[in-house]
Amino acid sequence: MFEILKSIISRMNANYADIRYETKKETKITFNGKELNQIGSNTTDGYVLRVLKNGGFSSIAFTKEADAEKAIKSVLENARLISKNIKKAVEFAKTEIIEDKFLPELKEDPRMISIDEKLELTRKYNGIPLKHKGISTTNIQYLEVIREKYFVSTEGSEIREDLTTTRINGLITSKDGNLIQNVRAGVGGSNGFALLRDKEEEFEKKTGIALELLKAKPVNGRAYNVILNPSMAGVFTHEAFGHFSEADLLEDNPSMREKMQLGAKLGSNVLNIIDDPIMPDQLGFYKYDDEGVEARPTQLLKDGVLVGRLHSRRTAAAFGEPLSGHCVAEDYRYAPIIRMGNIFIQPGTNTFDDLLAELKDGLYILDAKGGQTSGENFTFGAQYGYIVKNGKINEMIRDINISGNLYKTLQNISMVGNDLVLCQAGGCGKGQLNIRSCHGAPHIIIKDVIVGGV
């Protein structure tokens, strides 16, 4: 394959070109309620060609090898068009030339497990909620995605890397009359099939919550002091802060860039945030990004001060900051963009009980249910929560969405727990879907958060 790829880029009359070929094997097993809805494995493949010519940078994705000539012509035309229409030429930060084959060791390679065994395990977890009368349905899916990547650049890099993602996750839905509640349940990761085994407890726990939610009260919408559990605090870190550490979102947004200057004191002193894609065994793990840059841990916030940023080669040059190896594509249909790997709030020293005592009165909000940001404002949902009175957890509440201003909220984080947890299944939709987007945090306290009730 490398020879075919080298032959394609050797035909490029450009300052720089790279090409990535990938096969993507997807295995899906889906249950809707007790019915098996889908099962099967399929492999697709394609190419992404990128070119830098006279300061114009463009990319094209194509699926047929026979379209290579057409693709070369189009991408060069597009680069020329950009070059003619921009004032400041695009440059790439210098990176090490890498020749490597990296096939990570897995704890049970899912390729070696029969589809029957995958089906039985999924059926077993799906069956746990369905034993209960109040559960109206489930949507539980086994998903395995194996990307085999080949990367070649005109600078001489030649990299082979595999990314294997496995998970069993989905929704458990409870219903009482017209009231419908659902809870997400799931296990998964990037280091093999073994981590899916013996996870009955997760599905039992989430079933219990789905049933309890039928009796929970809707929260009253207003501002509260809150404790976020690691899942919620992780989504906050990803959505509200993490995206604005991605330099491509800032590059041409002068007003955001102004606020996100390195050295700016953005958060309270207790807040430290890092993105570390090479943390072993975590969902977001990779060695090289899709520009052939070696991934490296990047400290983003240190004692509340912005000290780093996630970069592509293009943005690292434009900002004059170090490369971080965070330019990643969903698959062969996309040119890479800047993504988080494993982003998390680094743990402090306080126990959960310390946090409850500090909060006194407020809400304890658990388990994220999707989030979104538009710069300084963010919104995300929680699956359930509890009212906290005088440091004690009281009744369950539902229909919780929180919203806030990034900068005010970072300043309002008053305590960070010592119990870091990273997520096992991801799904960040920044133009492309990143199923390995991993985030985490310990429990944290945030003061004065808007909670929208229904």
> Rule CB under 8 A: which of 313-342 touch other proteins?
333, 335
Could you tell me if 79 and 51 are in contact, meaning their C-beta atoms sit under 8 angstroms apart? yes
Separation between Cα atoms, residue 95 and residue 288, nearest integer Å: 12
Maximal CA-CA distance, the chain: 71
Instruction: Pick the binder of other proteins from 32, 154, 299, 346 (CB under 8 A).
Output: 32
Judged by beta carbon, residue 79 or residue 196, the one nearer other proteins is 79
Choices 82-90, 94-102, 279-287, 299-307; region in contact with other proteins by CB under 8 A? 82-90
Quick check: 55 binds other proteins (CB under 8 A)? no
Eight-class DSSP state of 241? I
Q: Per the structure block, which two tokens stand in for 222?
A: 């207003």
Quick check: 212 binds other proteins (CB under 8 A)? no
Quick check: 343 binds other proteins (CB under 8 A)? no
Could you tell me if 234 and 344 are in contact, meaning their C-beta atoms sit under 8 angstroms apart? yes
How many residues interact with other proteins (rule CB under 8 A)? 92
Choices 9-17, 59-67, 287-295, 338-346; region in contact with other proteins by CB under 8 A? 59-67
Choices 76-84, 271-279, 348-356, 418-426; region in contact with other proteins by CB under 8 A? 76-84
Positions in 126-145 near other proteins (CB under 8 A): 136-137
Nearest residue to 96 via CA among 54, 159, 147: 159
CB of 143 to other proteins, least distance (A): 12
CB of 287 to other proteins, least distance (A): 26
x/- map, 361-390, other proteins, by CB under 8 A:
--------xxxxxxxxxxxxx---------
Instruction: Pick the binder of other proteins from 95, 153, 169, 181 (CB under 8 A).
Output: 181
Separation between Cα atoms, residue 263 and residue 242, nearest integer Å: 16
Q: Per the structure block, which two tokens stand in for 234?
A: 């992780």
What SS3 class is residue 128? helix
Could you tell me if 435 and 145 are in contact, meaning their C-beta atoms sit under 8 angstroms apart? yes
Q: Per the structure block, which two tokens stand in for 315?
A: 């943005």
CB of 156 to other proteins, least distance (A): 25
CB of 44 to other proteins, least distance (A): 5
Nearest-10 Cα torsion for 208, 197, 437, 71: -130
Judged by beta carbon, residue 339 or residue 355, the one nearer other proteins is 339
CB of 128 to other proteins, least distance (A): 18
Nearest residue to 262 via CA among 312, 298, 238: 298
Positions in 284-313 near other proteins (CB under 8 A): none
Could you tell me if 53 and 191 are in contact, meaning their C-beta atoms sit under 8 angstroms apart? no
CB of 79 to other proteins, least distance (A): 8
Nearest residue to 92 via CA among 327, 312, 409: 312
CB of 347 to other proteins, least distance (A): 26
Judged by beta carbon, residue 391 or residue 452, the one nearer other proteins is 452
Eight-class DSSP state of 112? G
Separation between Cα atoms, residue 117 and residue 314, nearest integer Å: 45
> CA of 118: how far to CAs of 39, 111, 194, 395, in Å?
10, 11, 11, 38
Instruction: Pick the binder of other proteins from 8, 20, 52, 59 (CB under 8 A).
Output: 59
Separation between Cα atoms, residue 275 and residue 296, nearest integer Å: 9
Instruction: Pick the binder of other proteins from 140, 209, 227, 249 (CB under 8 A).
Output: 249
Separation between Cα atoms, residue 423 and residue 234, nearest integer Å: 8
Positions in 385-414 near other proteins (CB under 8 A): 398-401, 403-405, 408
Quick check: 103 binds other proteins (CB under 8 A)? no
Instruction: Pick the binder of other proteins from 82, 145, 228, 413 (CB under 8 A).
Output: 82
CB of 279 to other proteins, least distance (A): 26
Choices 155-163, 267-275, 321-329, 444-452; region in contact with other proteins by CB under 8 A? 444-452
Amino acid, res. 257: R
Instruction: Pick the binder of other proteins from 14, 17, 71, 422 (CB under 8 A).
Output: 71
Instruction: Pick the binder of other proteins from 4, 6, 55, 74 (CB under 8 A).
Output: 74
What SS3 class is residue 335? coil
Judged by beta carbon, residue 67 or residue 419, the one nearer other proteins is 67
Instruction: Pick the binder of other proteins from 178, 263, 280, 320 (CB under 8 A).
Output: 178
Q: Per the structure block, which two tokens stand in for 421?
A: 């947890």
Q: Say which residues have a Cβ less than 8 Å from residue 236's Cβ, sequence separation at least 6.
A: 228, 371, 378, 380, 409, 441, 446
Choices 54-62, 187-195, 197-205, 304-312; region in contact with other proteins by CB under 8 A? 54-62
